[in-house]
Structure 1
Amino acid sequence: MPTGQEIITLQFGHYANFIGTHWWNIQEAGFDYNSEVPSEINHDVLLREGRTLKDEVTFTPRLLLVDLKGSLNTVSERGDLYDSPEIPDPNQLDWSGEVDLKQVPKVEKNEYLQDLEKEEQALQRGDVIGAQALIGSKKYELDSVVKVWSDYLRLRYHPRSVTTINDYCHGSDSRKFDIFNLGINVWKTEQFEENFCDRIRNYAEECDNMQGFHVLLDCNDGFGGLGISALQYIEDEYSTKTTLAFPVLPAAYEFSNTLADSIRTANIALSFRGLSEHASLFAPLCMGSLGWRQPGPPKEFKYLNYNALLSYHTSAILAVALDTLTLRHRLRSKPQERLSTVANALGRLGRRAAAVKAGIPFPLAGDGDAGFLLEALEAWDGPLWHSLSPSCGDLEAERIWMQSVVLRGVGQERLKSPTSMRKNQDGNPAYSCSTVEEMLKLFLYCCSYATASHVTSTSLPCNVGAPFPHIFSEDIGIDGFLYPETRSNDIGVSSIPVIAGLHSCRSVGTMLESLHGEASRLRITKLHGFGEAGLEEDEYKECINQLADFRECYHEEFDV
């Protein structure tokens, strides 16, 4: 049964669904179906309880996702959770004529999905131990086999979750869904104006006390227009609810030339304009350092070895940050934080855009003094985190007005060293801190002048077992902490401590100025696809002017 505080998640676009798939997998890996002690995380916020036709209890994401035809691979649009259609027997059909039965060949499943199927069969037989042994800590090599997000989907979706746009095909060169206004046009069809909106309404009516919406959207193509149209609908129909949006950009493109780069830039500008008008707060995500015409050099993390050309890799990193920074309004804290509190604090004075920063993993030693938070922070060298927003710095010597920071996977036992290990540190004011939140808040106070910081912590780490990609350096142990002995290559990492945050800061203005500069150079009339899809030249000029006005909110004279 719902417990209130529910959030509906919407995902628009292929890369958004790559991120979303990792995000739901992370949550499922941390879900304890049998524990009598409630988890620190209130899973009812994002997931819903249901029952199959066999009266089996299910937990599925309160999710609606949209992608193009051909992007589902092994997943059916309706799923197989509540019914499993069988091949009809021609002899039992009420038809006297000839029957021509055609069966679409099944897509071959990769090793992970095959094991997942065997695991489910074992559970149905009541063989819990056998099911756990199938996947457990097994290390899968999926880099070369993952082509679409459903190739590593662990959690099963509700039948109403998936919507495909059949007028456009994933990967098609002849009919591309690459223009912002094409998404607006798709929203105006019956499939969305009626059916999709009905699905939102069905979820909303199930909720006891809905907080609002999480929205992930590809902002570099037609899904930007579709996502913004959905935000407009939400603003009209659910005006009292909060929307936290994450426009996402891939770290690499399969195809690129001057025209394609210009089209992407215009799409991003139009998406950001719409987000600034219709989202309560939005935070761009990209593993590329630039993000507009081209993603730019990939972001560097000391303990991550990832391939920026693989969406399977880059989306996993963004999903870890997303799962962590949203914990503030998903924990069973007293009083429980709400999504509106986060958005209202960070979005003051019209600053509806925020930057995302993360430390993945948060580097603590597995043992010794460096394994305690106080000692680690005292010896810290360099930025605490790295930017995951395009054209934003890492916040060293940065002007930050507001920030919401979450540290996970660091328990109270790692707060500070025992008395016998204190050495000459008794005069350190940090030793008066009795919680992880107090310690980190003191550190942020010392590092950031006149910054209002909210800190959330939980001892629960981020689960990164299969099918999460193997992107961690050999310094990281199976538990996510640093060890002098390198981890064996045939052993994966199961969980990691993470720090992540949302920041209202001056570098967001730099990001907007960079986008405005690129977008204002474009002659939209030369990009014929926009005019053909319904965009007027004056509308694009208005978009450019609104971006410039939005940038002004981040000037120093408007400080909080």
Structure 2
Amino acid sequence: MKEIVTVQVGSYANFIGSHFWNFQDELLGLADNPGSDEIFKNHNLDMNVLYRSGETHQGIPTYTPRLVSVDFKGSLGSVNSRGTLYNEAPAPPGHVLTWNGGVATSASEPLKKNLFLESLYLEDEDVGNTGFNSGKNDSRSEIQDKDIVECLETGVQYWTDFSKVHYHPQSLYELSGLWMNIEGFDNYGVGRDAFSGGLRGEEINERLRFFIEECDHIQGIQFVVDDAGGFSGVAGEFLENIADEYTNIPVLLYSVHSPDTSMDPKSRKRTISCNLHDVVSFSRLLAFCKLFIPVGLPSLGKSRTSSFLSLKDEKPYHTSAVYASAIHSISLPFRIEQLGPSSQSSYTCGAMAVNDLVQMLAGQARQNMVSILDVSMPAPSFTGHPVQQYLLENLQPLTPEIVENVEDYQAVESMTVHGVYGAGCQRASISEVKDAVQAAYENAVTRPKFSHLSVARCPLPIPLPFPSIFGNLVGQHGELLDTPISDSASRGSLEVHSIPMAARLRSSNAVLPFLENRLGNLRKFGIARGAPGTELLRNWGFGKEDLEDIDETLSKMVMTLNPYSQESSDSD
């Protein structure tokens, strides 16, 4: 087994993480449920890659994510930062011997659990805190489930409001002194200072060290950061420490943006600040990871990615579910169980480690460390359509600021397909998927230089707290229908129990606009004579030499992907 430690930094990153871990918890519950589909009992995924086994002080076995989550103080809502398994209440404050005056204690009432969290509490009392429950296989009535779904659709405020997972006491870290809705926590500089202030940086590093040092053969760190504001500065400093202390552990970085952070700034000053934040954040985070994956469209709900979805951009609960689904799919190869050289599984193929993916996508001649994430959700069946239409054309980008339909004969791709339907309305076999993908590339106008394929027959399970974002052309098992199945525009976990998925990471010159925009903004607002953002960058800790280094790095990346881009940049 090769372990992965997951890190989530920032509010939106934790929204995505909450959905991601719900998928894993659902897989565990379905595999343990005698009434489940055989495909879930034989998913051939090694959950120990993401989870750790332990026990409480009372000797009760536990199974928790190998996770470090960083967020604001108060971001956990009604959930205790120590989790629920270990029941470790904080020690009461002792008497201050140097003070002889009176002592007044102020305490706020704990937030009330919503209907979903209350139902989890009742389940735990019934089944003994196992942490393996599947949301649809318990004693709750249908009416109560509907009430829970409605409660979540209208009332999610914190990412813990819909989390069905038990966490280890070392997992959830709140930044002391920085509360939710804090004003001004919107740029790289303030985040950098927050990490360095007090003992925060040391405490966060210690949390990560706890999980890494108990690993036998760690394969990498899966790092998700809310990159729109100060949390990118927190992540940048954290990543630098990781690079210094764990030199040989590759970091796979997802830089995520929610749609509401893409709204037009209200002033020119704010526009300049946002553009320069994107530049320095990208350059710093890129410097300390092996592969950088930008995720977050300006409008997910209006994009082609959401052709069969019905979601609201203003709801992080909705949009984060799509991004979490894609990350779940693209990370499946890291946990596919590898059988012996003479054995083949009928449920999975295409296992690879994090470092294998990094070397494939970023280790080629162009050294392109920025990859594009595409997804097909739900993925269509392998029957009834031309091969290239139902497979490649349904993969739509979740990465912003890219050019589509570009010819790149040096492109490299890694694709994951799981749970898709083949002939006879049955889950497609491994060989069916392989043949379909091969045929798709043979019929495509352009094909990548190299493509790796991972396949799993197990679909994406839809747990109870998943939002109602499926359109009325999506069936119970994610099949795409010819006619609407209901009058309702959206369907949720009570109607859709699993969906087939396809996801792809690609290294391509389609990412050029993303790089060129950052290079252009750096020169226009930060380096040019009389640039309006020079003083702002200096306040963030970036001097002239730092900006020149960033300029050189971005220029080389642009030149590598397109030698002619430099000429146009210089002539502006």
What's the TM-score, normalizing by structure 2?
A: 0.82
For residue 356 of structure 2, what is the amino acid of its counterpart? Answer: T
Judge conservation of contact 2:22–2:164 (CA < 8 Å) in 1. yes
Q: CA deviation at 1:159?
A: 0.8
Q: Work out whether residues 119 and 134 of structure 1, in 8 Å CA contact, stay in contact via their aligned partners in 2.
A: no
Partner of 2:172: 162
Task: Map 1:507-526 to 2 at 5 A.
Answer: 507-523=510-526, 526=533
- Determine the C-alpha separation between the residues in 2 that align with 1:527 and 1:208: 47
Code of the residue aligned with 1:70 in structure 2: it is G
Map 1:314-353 onto structure 2 (within 5 A): 314-334=319-339, 336-347=351-362, 348=364, 349-353=366-370
1:35–1:108 Cα change, 3 Å:
closer
Distance 1:115 1:135, change over 3 A: farther
C-alpha distance 261-50 of structure 1, shift in aligned 2 (>3 A): farther
Change in 2 beyond 3 A, CA 1:476/1:26: same
1:545 is the counterpart of 2:548? no
Aligned pair in 2 of structure 1 residues 470, 180: CA closer, same or farther (>3 Å)? same
Q: Distance in 2 between matches of 1:352 and 1:455?
A: 20
2:534 and 2:168 mapped to 1: Cα distance?
A: 39
User: What secondary structure is seen at the aligned counterpart in 2 of 1:252?
Assistant: helix
Q: Deviations over 1:324-374 (max 9, x none)?
A: 01111111134752110000110023211100000011022xxxxxxx458
Q: Does residue 386 in structure 1 map to residue 393 in structure 2? A: no
Once the two structures are superposed, residues 191-210 of structure 1 have per-residue CA deviations (whole angstroms, 9 ceiling, x without a partner) of: 24432222222211111100
1:497 is matched with 500
Task: Return the alpha-carbon distance in structure 2 between the equivalents of residues 309 and 125 of structure 1.
Answer: 35
Structure 2 equivalent of residue 554 of structure 1: 561
Q: Contact 2:43 / 2:457 at 8 angstroms: preserved in 1?
A: no
1:257 matched residue in structure 2: 266
Question: Tell me, what secondary structure is at the counterpart of 1:216?
Answer: strand
Distance 1:520 1:167 in 2: 36
Equivalent of 1:34 in 32, 49, 52: 32
Counterpart for residue 427 of structure 1: none
- Offset of residue 533 of structure 1: 3.7
> How many residues matched?
520
Looking at structure 2, the residues matched to 125 and 262 of structure 1 have their Cα atoms a distance apart, in angstroms, of: 50
**In 2, distance between residues paired with 1:385 and 1:189?**
43
> How far apart, in 2, do the equivalents of 1:525 and 1:299 lie?
37
Following TM superposition, by how much is the alpha carbon of 1:63 offset from its aligned partner in structure 2, in angstroms?
A: 0.7
Q: Hey, what's the Cα distance between the residues in 2 that align with 1:211 and 1:511?
A: 29
Q: Deviations over 1:278-310 (max 9, x none)?
A: 211111000326xxxxx9965542101111111
Give deviations 1:110-131, integer Å, cap 9, x for gaps: 22122222222222399x9997
Where does residue 463 of structure 2 map in the other structure? 465
Q: Distance in 2 between matches of 1:556 and 1:377?
A: 35
1:354 paired with 2:371, answer: yes
Candidates 133, 139, 144, aligned match of 1:133: 139
Deviation at 1:548, TM superposition (A): 2.1
**Contact conserved, 2:192 with 2:233, CA < 8 A, in 1?**
yes
Question: Are 1:407 and 2:417 an aligned pair?
Answer: yes
Paired residue type of 1:545: E
Offset at residue 522 of structure 1 (A): 1.9
Q: Which residue of 2 aligns with 1:76?
A: 80
Show the 5 A alignment for 1:134-533.
134=140, 138-139=145-146, 140-141=149-150, 142-173=152-183, 176-189=184-197, 191-253=199-261, 256-258=265-267, 259-288=269-298, 298=303, 300-334=305-339, 336-347=351-362, 348=364, 349-364=366-381, 372-373=382-383, 377=387, 380=390, 383-395=393-405, 399=409, 401-410=411-420, 414-416=421-423, 434-447=431-444, 448-484=446-482, 486-488=484-486, 489=488, 491-523=494-526, 526=533, 530-533=537-540
Equivalent position SS for 2:122: helix
TM-superposition CA deviations, 1:59-103 (whole Å, max 9, x none): 211111111122221122222321253998x9xxxxx99986654
What residue is the counterpart of 1:424 in the other structure? Answer: none
Q: Read off the aligned partner of 2:551 and give its amino acid letter.
A: I
Q: In the alignment, which residue of structure 2 is the partner of 1:534?
A: 541
1:320, 1:41 → 2: CA distance? 16
Q: Report the CA distance between 1:265 and its aligned residue.
A: 2.0
Is contact 2:430–2:457 with CA below 8 Å preserved after alignment? no
1:519–1:544 Cα contact (<8 Å) kept: yes
CA contact (8 A) 1:9 1:213 kept: yes
Q: For the Cα contact (< 8 Å) 2:391–2:440, is it kept in 1? A: no
Distance 2:537 2:447 in 1: 45
On the 8 A contact 1:69/1:164 being kept in 2, the answer is yes
d(CA) in 2 for partners of 1:468, 1:325: 19
TM-aligned CA deviation for residue 42 of structure 1: 1.0
SS at match of 2:155: coil
| Equivalent residue for 2:48, pick from 31, 44, 48 | 44
Matched ranges for 1:46-61 at <5 A: 46-61=50-65
CA contact (8 A) 1:525 1:531 kept: no
Q: Partner residue of 2:97? A: none
CA distance 1:110–1:361, change in 2 (3 Å): same
- Deviation, 1:226, is 1.7
| Structure 2, unaligned runs of 5 or more | 35-40, 95-99, 341-350, 566-572
Post-superposition shift, 1:268? Answer: 1.7
Structure 1 residue matching 2:154: 3-state secondary structure:
coil
Cα distance in 2 for partners of 1:277, 1:86 equals: 39
Measured in 2, the distance between the counterparts of 1:528 and 1:299 equals 40
The AA in structure 2 aligned to 1:302 is S
Task: Give the direction of change, closer, same or farther, for the CA distance of 1:274–1:134 in structure 2 (3 Å limit).
Answer: same
Q: 1:520 to 1:316 in 2, by over 3 A?
A: farther
Distance 2:331 2:451 in 1: 15
- CA distance in 1 between partners of 2:550 and 2:91 (Å): 52
Instruction: Tell me the distance in 1 between the aligned counterparts of 2:542 and 2:230.
Output: 13
The CA deviation at 1:178 is 1.6
Residues 394 and 479 (structure 1 numbering): CA distance in 2 closer, same or farther, change over 3 Å?
A: farther
Answer whether contact 1:251 1:287 (CA < 8 A) is retained: yes
Equivalent-residue separation in structure 1 for 2:228 and 2:496 (angstroms): 33
Mean alpha-carbon deviation: is it higher for 144-153 or for 388-397?
388-397
What is the deviation of 1:108?
A: 1.9
Q: 1:441 to 1:274 in 2, by over 3 A?
A: farther
Q: For 1:66 and 1:527, locate their aligned partners in 2 and report how far apart those are by CA, in whole Å.
A: 30
Q: Structure 2: how far apart are the matches of 1:103 and 1:168?
A: 18
Structure 1, gaps ≥5 residues long: 91-95, 290-294, 365-371, 419-430
Q: Which amino acid aligns with 2:511?
A: V
**Could you tell me which residue of structure 2 aligns to residue 119 of structure 1?**
123
| Matching residue's letter, 1:133 | S
Q: 1:154-198 deviations in whole A, cap 9, x for unaligned?
A: 11211111111223222123xx22221222223334524432222
